Structure 1
């Protein structure tokens, strides 16, 4: 069913198109940004949220200990002026800036940070992202009112980047007097961020407003003091056509999740597009190496060679999307360019399969000892174009004699299949601006989606990458991990997901932070 709010937007969207405006001049405070998101937020609490719609709201409500430069990946001051870690990256000490308060007036001090981190840990699996960041967290110690030490049981170099994310954003102690479900709906959601929660109407909108007196923004932001906008009104509009039409008609100032087919409508005529590839693991076919034909390394390698990634982006997506050149996106710190290893090579795929004893059957699909060369891929429609991408890959792989079967499931079903290991290929991406996301998904001590055996060479590189914040050590380990994953085809990279936000003539500086989530502190409307 189409929500009433979306129907109203659609009716208005058919009436007019936006006009081109003059130069808006310097930023000015005031006004409301009306922006569409493509789904109902699953939870507004940034410590629990997992979907883009939720994270794009939650980022505005909480501050983090650090921030991450989207261009360089460097970790910069925010709530913490400075920090240090011990030699084996099991302990991190943060020195907090003074004068910071939560929106309920209480101070953001070392005790509040401890309470917040303990609160994330207590959430367990409800903290979809924080659970991984704090997997080996043993506790926080209040050294003095402005100094807090965070301790881990094993080396956790990834934590410094994790401290910049909204999933570890700091909530007030009073927030934990509410249940986790209450916080998901905004009840008691008290942060120190530049905006505060106003209202959440299911399947309609979320409204946040400026935090008056805010004066402790990230060192990376373009201005200091309070945010420019008085309010942000996130309209929940699942239908891509409604979002597009509503922006064209002036009913919206901006929209997230612009579909590739609609991008051309926002290139000129007073409109603009802000884009940023998501860092982290690219969309990929992640192989369960214990299932069917995927136990054969040569088969997995042939599948990788048989995929024409450039054709995928050219045909189904748009120039805003890049063919994968590693298992990590090019915006991820310590990314390694493996484009040569991921080149389209159908002749090479055919040679591998021929040498491996797979011969063409009567329908063109190869067979070996009575077994067909086939595997299924489990996927959910989290990204609107996933099915179209997979259908094209299916066609490409038939040319080398491989039968890819598509299995569409709900998000919940897909998660259950992933957790049970009952899949051959798993189709997904994961956003994180740190190479440690590989350890989360490939290590036999963590997600192990490839179902590898402990003690394999990849584990050693992932452990090394996690052992120190020193990039002279982390970089070669992260690069070797990427190379092993690609060369062994434990997962087969396809394309980099890109966030595409279309912006009308009245909205300015609708920015992204390092994890490709919206950062609206510097945003303003004319």
Structure 2
């Protein structure tokens, strides 16, 4: 799914199968008779959220809930990837490009009635920057570390210096965020729910940074499980866990357009077929990650199927650390030639999916039409393997179970196709299925006991670094290689202030990655989300940033 620094980032919590249960009577039209839901949306989710504090979250279900409760300084445009006003109305860099001034909205209140202002913004950034202990674990603050690097005082030699430098409240509605260098991540990365602004009073009252336990058994404070307090159009009401439901309710004091629905319930139904049946029976009014084979049937039945633009990558990672043969570029290139990407796209992915040539979609600036192509070629693969002395290669191929991802609708089916392709060029594959969380993520993003595995990435914002930089900008256990030249190219591109020049450097990076062949970019897939026949007002987002504030039943 994702690199080691965000091993849970790309994760939806795996949960036990729960049969769909009926809606509570209060969720239905008061006219009785099982009529249409009027003020409550019950949305079926594949798993429980992991945590309700988005600063500590990386799984899709946690972030789905967070996007309704919290807001960020800048937010993605509706249905797109570009930065637009959020809690900040405007933002401008200084001449050096290292200090950004944000003009904040006035009159905004947190759910606990306290004021949103510049001091609140700085309280949040100071909390993240001054994290200590387990708050510095990559499994606790993954997005901070992906974007900002380290902390005020790094407690691990593996942590890089912090990109963030300081926050200054100039007045109630003006805040300066200072950074140690120019970076392509600013301001776009501030759209991430992990940089949502929380009530400082609630953070203090519920000891939000008091993470206990161990790195393998993290214990979250009550703030993160029971008291998330933001400024969004919905506020937290209750969480019946595990594997049941989480409820949010309309924030009637919201600064913007009020939510049309009174209540949204996220009901855990881990089995995809059970979610589909619950939709058809009216027990839920929507669910995500519609199976490719279900898109057209659901449309024909009158359901509102929304297809997101493809803004992801499915890849087969090649770990160079464990098996010496995989450290040879000829072997990795042979594996690329062995894979029939188009056949996989045609047979296993939804309409609109594309075979990939690089580790980012062509809608992101920096995509390079001239990278080295690995068109399906069995004979070329065999030739390269023979030249590398690896004609009888035996590899362990990990693939996940109990999960559906936007870029990977059926992991076992995809694995079987890829394994057959590898067998055709003489590579013997041992399939190793593992439960998605935590077994699979732990096994594939750490250590050296994995040769090949399936993972992917859904972009967080519209910049090339968010794709290729997240994967390859430094040494990571998932890939098991050290390439100082490539790492230096990433640093140079990220610190280039001129956008046009930076795009050219991204193109050069994509070309270098294609030659180096650290893995196999397979496909880009347009995932679908479905809603009930009478539900409108939700715009599909390539970032999975669907906002329920505009949802309404006709």
TM-score clears 0.5: yes
1:380 is aligned to 400
**Aligned-partner Cα distance in 2 for 1:150–1:30:** 43
1:409 is aligned to 434
SS in 2 for 1:419: coil
1:115 is aligned to 123
- Correspondence 1:230-309 to 2 at 5 A: 230-277=262-309, 279-280=311-312, 282-290=313-321, 291-309=323-341
1:193 is aligned to 232
For structure 1, the 5+ residue unaligned runs are: 11-23, 217-224, 359-365, 367-371
2:469 is aligned to 439
Cα deviation for residue 98 of structure 1 reads: 1.5
2:452 is aligned to 425
**Aligned-partner Cα distance in 2 for 1:2–1:106:** 36
Q: 1:388 to 1:226 in 2, by over 3 A?
A: same
Cα deviation for residue 165 of structure 1 reads: 1.4
1:448-479 deviations in Å (ceiling 9; x for gaps): 743333531x2233112211453212211222
Structure 1 residue 476 and structure 2 residue 504: aligned?
Answer: yes
Task: Identify which of 505, 512, 522 aligns with 2:533.
Answer: 505
- Correspondence 1:343-382 to 2 at 5 A: 343-358=375-390, 366=391, 372-381=392-401, 382=403
In the comparison of the two structures, how many residue pairs are matched? Answer: 486
Q: 1:7 to 1:503 in 2, by over 3 A?
A: closer
1:210 is aligned to 250
CA contact (8 A) 2:303 2:530 kept: yes
- Correspondence 1:50-199 to 2 at 5 A: 50-69=58-77, 73-86=81-94, 89-121=97-129, 122=131, 123-125=135-137, 126-135=140-149, 136=162, 137-177=164-204, 178-180=206-208, 181-182=220-221, 186-199=225-238
| CA-atom RMSD in angstroms | 2.8
Structure 1 residue 396 and structure 2 residue 421: aligned?
Answer: yes
For structure 2, the 5+ residue unaligned runs are: 1-13, 24-35, 150-161, 209-219
CA contact (8 A) 2:80 2:543 kept: no
CA contact (8 A) 1:258 1:500 kept: yes
Deviates more, 1:377-386 or 1:265-274: 377-386
CA contact (8 A) 1:193 1:211 kept: yes
**Aligned-partner Cα distance in 1 for 2:136–2:263:** 33
1:206-238 deviations in Å (ceiling 9; x for gaps): 11111113234xxxxxxxx21222211111100
1:8 is aligned to 21
**Aligned-partner Cα distance in 2 for 1:298–1:204:** 50
Cα deviation for residue 89 of structure 1 reads: 4.4
1:317 is aligned to 349
CA contact (8 A) 1:68 1:76 kept: yes
Q: 1:117 to 1:2 in 2, by over 3 A?
A: closer
